[in-house]
């Protein structure tokens, strides 16, 4: 859960590249587990590594490498691809902020203990008011409900998260005030690589399950793999995946 978290904060001290390999390998067997680990590592955990204060890193990273999951909360019903259209606000109240709004489709939110939340602290500045906060699940006013009934990756929770005047101290700001839009762009770029790793692992897992079946199942008096169309699809896949393969490798 902390593949690229430095060892001094309880992580494995490995690289972002290796985190992608972990995500790919998990997806070969269970894309839900891969989604859980992928989002956790590449979005909320990465944000705390990259933008957290020393105090925030010491407070959250050891937990997030051991017994707690994290969620990344940016999307809303009217803010999907156009993430900066978000309507969640963070109203200043002295040294505190009051966060109000509803986030949608939040991965890991069914179990997460820590939420990295994007809210606009100054809507007059439009997207330049977007600020990122770290919020604990135990915060008064934070509720998680309506788990989406998804077609796939069903063991990965995807829920709505409501913030009803959730009071957080200004020390909960992650990075700089008003820089949330910049952090979101950078993190989502990394998140897309993780989704790619997940999809490659899933495709490989399907392929690995399919080949033995095609070699064993017989119809019309021959193995399925011996039908020309099936052989050619498999051959194309191998050519794209492993440029070192030869025709005889595929035949065998």
Ligand X SMILES: Cc1cc2nc3c(=O)[nH]c(=O)nc-3n(C[C@H](O)[C@H](O)[C@H](O)COP(=O)(O)OP(=O)(O)OC[C@H]3O[C@@H](n4cnc5c(N)ncnc54)[C@H](O)[C@@H]3O)c2cc1C
Residue showing the smallest CB distance to ligand X in the complex:
80
Residue 80 or 212 with smaller CB distance to ligand X? 80
Residue 117 or 172 with smaller CB distance to ligand X? 117
**Which spans of this chain sit near ligand X (rule: CB under 6 A)?**
39, 71-75, 80-81, 105-107, 158
Residue 33 or 230 with smaller CB distance to ligand X? 33
Residue 39 or 194 with smaller CB distance to ligand X? 39
Residue 117: strand pairing partners: 73, 133
CB of 205 to ligand X, least distance (A): 18
CB of 81 to ligand X, least distance (A): 3
CB of 27 to ligand X, least distance (A): 14
CB of 193 to ligand X, least distance (A): 15
């Amino acid at each position: 859960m902390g593949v690229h978290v430095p060892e001094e904060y309880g992580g494995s001290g490995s690289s972002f590249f290796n985190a992608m390999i972990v995500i790919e390998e998990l997806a070969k067997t269970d894309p839900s587990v891969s989604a859980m680990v992928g989002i956790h590592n590449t979005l909320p955990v990465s944000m705390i590594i990259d933008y957290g204060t020393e105090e925030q890193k010491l407070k959250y990273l050891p937990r997030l490498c051991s017994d707690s999951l994290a969620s990344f909360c940016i999307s809303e019903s009217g803010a999907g691809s156009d993430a900066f259209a978000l309507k969640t606000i963070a109203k200043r109240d002295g040294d505190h902020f009051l966060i109000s709004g509803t986030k949608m489709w939040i991965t890991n939110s069914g179990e997460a203990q820590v939420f990295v939340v994007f809210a606009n602290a100054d809507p007059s500045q439009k997207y330049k008011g977007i600020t990122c906060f770290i919020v604990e699940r135990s915060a008064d006013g934070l509720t998680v409900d309506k788990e989406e009934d998804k077609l796939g990756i069903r063991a990965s929770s995807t829920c709505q998260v409501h913030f009803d005047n959730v009071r957080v101290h200004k020390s909960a700001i992650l990075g700089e005030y008003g820089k949330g839009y910049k952090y979101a762009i950078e993190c989502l770029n990394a998140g897309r690589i993780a989704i790619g790793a997940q999809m490659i692992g899933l495709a490989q897992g399907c392929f690995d399950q399919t080949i033995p079946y095609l070699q064993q199942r017989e119809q019309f008096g021959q193995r399925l793999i011996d039908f020309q169309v099936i052989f050619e699809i498999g051959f194309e896949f191998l050519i794209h995946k492993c440029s070192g393969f030869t025709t005889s490798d595929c035949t065998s």
